[in-house]
Structure 1
Amino acid sequence: MSFSLISIASNSSSPLVRKLPIVSEFYSSFSAYPFEYYFHYHSSSTNFRSTTIHSHLSTSFRPVNSISNSSSSAEDYSLVDISSPSASAADDELGVSDSDDEKAHQEHEIQTTCSYSSSLPDRWHVLGLGQAMVDFSGIVDDEFLVRLGLNKGTRKIVNHEERGKVLRAMDGCSYKAAAGGSLSNTLSALARLGGQALNIAMAGSVGSDPLGGFYRSKLQRANVKFLSAPVWDGTTGTVIVLTTPDAQRTMLAYQGTSSRVNYDPCLASLISKTSILIVEGYLFEFPDTIKTIARACEEAHKCGALVAITASDVTCIERHYDDFWDIMANYADIIFANSDEARAFCHFPSGESPVCATRYLSHFVPFVSVTDGRKGSYIGVKGEAVYIPPSPCVPVDTCGAGDAYASGILYGLLRGVSDLRGMGSLASKVASIVVSQQGTRLRVKDVVELAESFLFHHESSTMSS
């Protein structure tokens, strides 16, 4: 079988990338060529590394209709009372005992984390490294934000007391709790798309409190394994998402234990068994975690895994610009960003077109995904940008839209899809489902229909070509 090699990175000055000739009519006919091969050159090695995305997928990856229908679609969210003694059942799930002293508990954590691997799969399709946080999402009016002195549409870091003040103000409002965080949203959506055939895991940090048990339990229900042991006597991080009627969201983040992500032998072992490592950009906020990111990405490339980075937040990029670029230039194969974040990476003004930012970034990162809200999105490859039209929907809550979009891209990559427009279209449809509902979790019924339709069109186009 003949095929054309496509280099999806074109920065010839980088020591990490070997430039290959541009395939003729690349921009206008992506689907005509297999989007499978690209080459990296690592300064620590004298050999070029050839990577095929197909090789990252286990042969046991079955069609999407193998999704287990045992997962509940009716209970995407469960309310949790963080002050209620009855919530101690979550502690029992974690094996927390009040009579244990701290040293004994820490020893138990280490043993649990490392010995747990005996019951885990041999390889992971995707491993996420990010903040583990519980989302409290509710719909409020503008007056509520004014009363609390909050600027609409912003993200603010709050302390324990400020978090309590906002939650008390929400008393009587309708709000829901979910295992949130940007990365877990993406992983949960990806797990729904791929069903039981995909092995998805996350490493992060939760406390030994009821919210920590709630978080682990919810990810487990979403078919995502949370592999990090709880932090003894730690408080799980939370994000309060306040959505106004115009679908704008204001976010208040309490970091808690989510900032404590350490690199250890257990994490290294997990990375060595994964196909795609995806790192959440919010982790760049913490100096110690940046060291963890660098070591994790280095291990991933050493083991032949792809590395994906999520931009997460404009202010985060501005504060840690050099750290982001150090990781992106040396390790990133995939970058996920919205239009504002993409411009921030490029130091472009706010009025600059996201097309320019997408094209620019694709000279440094092989695969660039940039969303632009209701205007659509772009996929950047080798200095070109493919426009993806938005999927029509009535917006209810924009929280998690970009996370859902990323899951569609990852699913397409894992399926070895060569049609970038088709892959982007799937991602856009996944995002539209999330935007048209309150909450970030996909319903099984929606996902099965969407994934089956995507695979049908993908297989049909492959046969016709």
Structure 2
Amino acid sequence: MALASTTASRLISRRLPPPSPPPAAAPYAAALRGGACWARPRGYLSVRWEARPKALMGGLSDADDDDEEVDGRGVLSGAPSLQQDVFELAVASSSGPERWDVLGLGQAMVDFSGMVDDEFLERLGIEKGTRTLVNHEERGRVLRAMDGCTYKAAAGGSLSNSLVALSRLGSSQITSYPELRIAMAGSVGSDPLGSFYRQKLQRANVQFLSKPVKDGTTGTVIVLTTPDAQRTMLAYQGTSSTLAYDSDLADTVSKSNILVVEGYLFEFAHTIEAIKQACEDAKKNGALIAVSASDVSCIKRCHSDFWDIVGNYADILFANANEARAFCELTSEESTMSAARYLSHSIPLVSVTDGNHGSYIGVKGEAIYIPPPSCIPVDTCGAGDAYASGILYGIVRGASDLKGIGLLAARVAAVVVGQQGTRLRVKDADRLAELFESHLDNLEVCSDAETDQVSNF
């Protein structure tokens, strides 16, 4: 436990502060890169944003917390409520917090998901179980073919799943912690889909900060699920592949405590420089930098770009077992533990999930095993995103034992796996956040004998 506790303390601390209480916005990544440790107050990183008009900024409400999905036809038809430019309204209502606890850079894409049969895929010439990039015309052809099917629209994406879960954990009114300030930057068009995406995130208390691209078309992912539970995905990139590092984004990065970069952005050569600039500014201002691997094929295609960013900037890497092996260029026969250990020589903290086999947290050449909590799986999609949110939540809230943080993250993932849909529901987030608060202080002395109690949350 000593190694885990020491690394976690360095992760959430900074160099020794002056005798007087440090300012709430103080960065804390320096200690991870070699500074001394100190015990900070609980919730220290969080910044309260008083006098925030929730009605305008998209506060949580019982009416729609647990149901992010809506009928896809309403979104495509461009209902007047979806065309409202809430970005202008949000900016007019407040200048934002002094600092963001977590800022994510990623692809902003609307998911259209529906149930189809094998004949539907065959008729359209779509290969089952694959993820394929399509153009605007091909997207329209598939959506028109789905006209007789029941399908839903949601503000999707791996990063947004993690940020929404983190925001819901950090917005619980049950705990005494300050509310977390979570934001995302990406790219949406000035179309109804872009307004829909922004509104749905804001309703989950994740502020989408990027202005819409004039005359741009918002990216989408069509998720077709067959009766055997196999998913076939058709991705239309639209504006989602655009990431301009302008002065507004630079200013936001400079006042963020943690920067999370979604791996799908590495697929586009013109975004690499923007990612690098963001990481440079984040590092300069003392923020932690986390990178999510996102996809095996993406890692293989962009291996050198990934390592350029991860090797030089990343403090945290999120990956599943196959993605971790792809990073290391290991064969499928190599163990997940080996991949976690290998990566941890280059990255301070490595989180590697392996489905029902559990997960590992790699630190300085060692791998801490996290056993999976018991659950009845319903839908495994989004499990890794939920796990990442648990890791981030434990770090931001000040837990100092990595195995304890991992156990808590595994519980968040188990809750999502045990439901239909990728988003952590508000009622579950409240329950988990309350349990987090009651146990986080004890994680520093959590022994192997006690981990069963933690994992049974």
TM-score interval for Structure 1 and Structure 2 normalised by the shorter chain: 0.7 to 0.9
In structure 2, do the counterparts of structure 1 residues 310 and 116 end up closer, same or farther at CA, with 3 Å as the change threshold?
Answer: farther
Which of 9, 12, 35 is equivalent to 1:50? 35
The answer to whether residue 83 in structure 2 is matched with residue 91 in structure 1 is yes
Q: For residues 242-300 of structure 1, what are the alpha-carbon distances to aligned partners after superposition, in whole Å with 9 as ceiling and x for unaligned? A: 23445443221110110111011111100010000000111111111111000000000
Q: For residues 383-418 of structure 1, what are the alpha-carbon distances to aligned partners after superposition, in whole Å with 9 as ceiling and x for unaligned? A: 111111223333332221111111111001101112
The answer to whether residue 128 in structure 2 is matched with residue 122 in structure 1 is no
Report the alpha carbon displacement of residue 438 of structure 1 after superposing the two structures with TM: 2.5
Counterparts of 1:52 and 1:160, CA distance in 2 = 52
The answer to whether residue 163 in structure 2 is matched with residue 176 in structure 1 is no
Contact 1:243 1:397 in 2 (8 A): no
Report the alpha carbon displacement of residue 457 of structure 1 after superposing the two structures with TM: 2.2
Report the alpha carbon displacement of residue 138 of structure 1 after superposing the two structures with TM: 2.3
Match of 2:400 in 1: 418
Contact 2:401 2:444 in 1 (8 A): no
Counterparts of 1:125 and 1:179, CA distance in 2 = 21
Match of 2:170 in 1: 194
Counterparts of 2:374 and 2:64, CA distance in 1 = 26
RMSD: 3.0
Counterparts of 1:288 and 1:381, CA distance in 2 = 32
Counterparts of 2:417 and 2:119, CA distance in 1 = 23
Q: Secondary structure at the match of 2:257?
A: strand
**Matches for 1:217-236 after TM superposition, within 5 Å:** 217-236=199-218
Report the alpha carbon displacement of residue 210 of structure 1 after superposing the two structures with TM: 0.5
**Matches for 1:365-376 after TM superposition, within 5 Å:** 365-376=347-358
Contact 1:377 1:390 in 2 (8 A): yes
Q: Secondary structure at the match of 1:308?
A: strand
Match of 2:129 in 1: 153
Counterparts of 1:429 and 1:145, CA distance in 2 = 36
Give, as a single letter, the amino acid of the residue that structure 1 aligns with 2:426. V
Counterparts of 2:304 and 2:66, CA distance in 1 = 44
**Matches for 1:339-378 after TM superposition, within 5 Å:** 339-378=321-360
Match of 1:314 in 2: 296
Contact 2:47 2:180 in 1 (8 A): no
Report the alpha carbon displacement of residue 51 of structure 1 after superposing the two structures with TM: 7.6
Q: Secondary structure at the match of 2:147?
A: coil
The answer to whether residue 434 in structure 2 is matched with residue 442 in structure 1 is no
- Unaligned 5+ segments in structure 2 are 15-29, 51-58, 173-178, 448-457
In structure 2, do the counterparts of structure 1 residues 211 and 415 end up closer, same or farther at CA, with 3 Å as the change threshold?
Answer: same
Which of 139, 142, 154 is equivalent to 1:163? 139
Q: Secondary structure at the match of 1:122?
A: coil
Report the alpha carbon displacement of residue 164 of structure 1 after superposing the two structures with TM: 1.8
Counterparts of 1:346 and 1:352, CA distance in 2 = 10
Q: For residues 296-323 of structure 1, what are the alpha-carbon distances to aligned partners after superposition, in whole Å with 9 as ceiling and x for unaligned? A: 0000000000000011111111111100
Counterparts of 1:141 and 1:52, CA distance in 2 = 57
Counterparts of 2:400 and 2:2, CA distance in 1 = 12
Give, as a single letter, the amino acid of the residue that structure 2 aligns with 1:358. A
Which of 73, 77, 92 is equivalent to 1:81? 73
Report the alpha carbon displacement of residue 363 of structure 1 after superposing the two structures with TM: 0.5
Contact 1:249 1:399 in 2 (8 A): no
Match of 1:18 in 2: none
Report the alpha carbon displacement of residue 169 of structure 1 after superposing the two structures with TM: 3.0
TM-score by length of 1: 0.81
- Unaligned 5+ segments in structure 1 are 1-24, 96-111
Counterparts of 1:123 and 1:142, CA distance in 2 = 49
How many residue pairs match? The answer is 413
Report the alpha carbon displacement of residue 373 of structure 1 after superposing the two structures with TM: 1.6
TM-score by length of 2: 0.83
Q: Secondary structure at the match of 2:441?
A: helix
Q: For residues 90-118 of structure 1, what are the alpha-carbon distances to aligned partners after superposition, in whole Å with 9 as ceiling and x for unaligned? A: 223358xxxxxxxxxxxxxxxx6997695
Report the alpha carbon displacement of residue 420 of structure 1 after superposing the two structures with TM: 1.7
In structure 2, do the counterparts of structure 1 residues 293 and 51 end up closer, same or farther at CA, with 3 Å as the change threshold?
Answer: farther
Contact 1:263 1:292 in 2 (8 A): yes
In structure 2, do the counterparts of structure 1 residues 57 and 245 end up closer, same or farther at CA, with 3 Å as the change threshold?
Answer: farther
Q: For residues 158-207 of structure 1, what are the alpha-carbon distances to aligned partners after superposition, in whole Å with 9 as ceiling and x for unaligned? A: 11122122223333333211111111111011001110700000011101
In structure 2, do the counterparts of structure 1 residues 304 and 187 end up closer, same or farther at CA, with 3 Å as the change threshold?
Answer: same
Match of 1:381 in 2: 363
Contact 1:275 1:306 in 2 (8 A): yes
Report the alpha carbon displacement of residue 451 of structure 1 after superposing the two structures with TM: 1.8
Match of 1:136 in 2: 112
Report the alpha carbon displacement of residue 380 of structure 1 after superposing the two structures with TM: 0.8
In structure 2, do the counterparts of structure 1 residues 50 and 245 end up closer, same or farther at CA, with 3 Å as the change threshold?
Answer: farther
Counterparts of 1:241 and 1:279, CA distance in 2 = 23
Identity, % of aligned pairs?
A: 62
Match of 2:8 in 1: 35
Contact 1:334 1:367 in 2 (8 A): yes
**Matches for 1:152-301 after TM superposition, within 5 Å:** 152-195=128-171, 197-301=179-283
Match of 2:53 in 1: none
Counterparts of 1:203 and 1:213, CA distance in 2 = 14
Give, as a single letter, the amino acid of the residue that structure 2 aligns with 1:135. D
Report the alpha carbon displacement of residue 356 of structure 1 after superposing the two structures with TM: 0.7
Q: Secondary structure at the match of 2:232?
A: strand
In structure 2, do the counterparts of structure 1 residues 226 and 86 end up closer, same or farther at CA, with 3 Å as the change threshold?
Answer: closer
Give, as a single letter, the amino acid of the residue that structure 2 aligns with 1:50. G
Counterparts of 2:318 and 2:7, CA distance in 1 = 22
Report the alpha carbon displacement of residue 68 of structure 1 after superposing the two structures with TM: 5.8
Counterparts of 1:145 and 1:385, CA distance in 2 = 42
Contact 1:82 1:210 in 2 (8 A): no
Q: For residues 39-90 of structure 1, what are the alpha-carbon distances to aligned partners after superposition, in whole Å with 9 as ceiling and x for unaligned? A: 99xxxx9xx863869597136599xxxx966573343222243675552432
Counterparts of 2:229 and 2:418, CA distance in 1 = 10
Counterparts of 1:287 and 1:132, CA distance in 2 = 17
